Amino acid sequence: MTTATLCPPTTELHGSWLESWAEWGSADQDGASVFFAAKFGWDLHSPQGFAQWVELLNELGRPGAVPPEGFAPQSTLWLERDGEYLGAVSLRHTLMNEFLQEVGGHIGYGVRPSARGQGLAKLALAGALDEARGMGLQRVLVTCNDSNIASARTIEACGGKLERIVPAAEIAQRFGAVEDLRRYWIAV
């Protein structure tokens, strides 16, 4: 088995991405696909809709990119091994709105269920931290649900310092949170 790598989103992984979608039971495996698909009327099952989405993901990471309303410029990388989509990580270049400042943070990542337990989340987060460093960010906010012990360990292994655990009741009315949220800062 070869080592997993981080790569820009590509249409070559469409079939494997769909398999991952089936594993998750949701297209929202990467944090934004459902939003973009609904906003633009894209069918991510179709090669055309998927290609439009991939093009947008890559465009959002380019300097000067203008994201759709409510979204920050972001760099997205996909985890891939031997042509198989394994997960994704997104680095939001700025915390441009209250949701990102309080709940979403700079970095979000996800690993498909069948590929968990292989250190891929740590690889993804480390890659996003390298991107943040290259952009000149001094520190980044990374969050996870309090019950997601694996994610908390990943964040801590990458240098995350727990700021606090936010009770769900404190953020539920504004953002619909249903769980307590762990907020970490990582110096880059």
Check residue 183 and give its pLDDT. 98
Per-residue pLDDT tens over the stretch 5-37 = 999 999 999 999 999 988 887 655 554 566 777
Check residue 106 and give its pLDDT. 98
Check residue 176 and give its pLDDT. 84
Check residue 4 and give its pLDDT. 96
Domain ranges within the chain, ordered by starting residue: 5-137
In CATH terms, the fold of domain 5-137 is Aminopeptidase (3.40.630)
Check residue 27 and give its pLDDT. 52
- Edge-to-edge strand list for the sheet holding 181-187: 5-7, 74-81, 84-92, 107-111, 139-145, 181-187, 161-166
Q: DSSP per residue over the chain, as a string?
A: -PPPEEE---GGGHHHHHHHHHHHTSSGGGSSHHHHHHHHT--TTSHHHHHHHHHHHHHHTSTT--PPTT---EEEEEEEETTEEEEEEEEES---SHHIIIII-SEEEEE-GGGTTSSHHHHHHHHHHHHHHHHT-SEEEEEEETT-HHHHHHHHHTT-EEEEEE-HHHHHHHH---S-EEEEEEE-
Q: What is the model's pTM?
A: 0.92
Check residue 71 and give its pLDDT. 77
Structure tokens at 57: 């993901």
Residue tagged 């179709």 (tokens): 46
For residue 90, what are the β-bridge partners?
76, 108
Low-confidence residues of the chain: pLDDT under 50: 31
Check residue 36 and give its pLDDT. 74
- Other CB atoms within a 10 A radius of the CB of residue 108 amount to 23
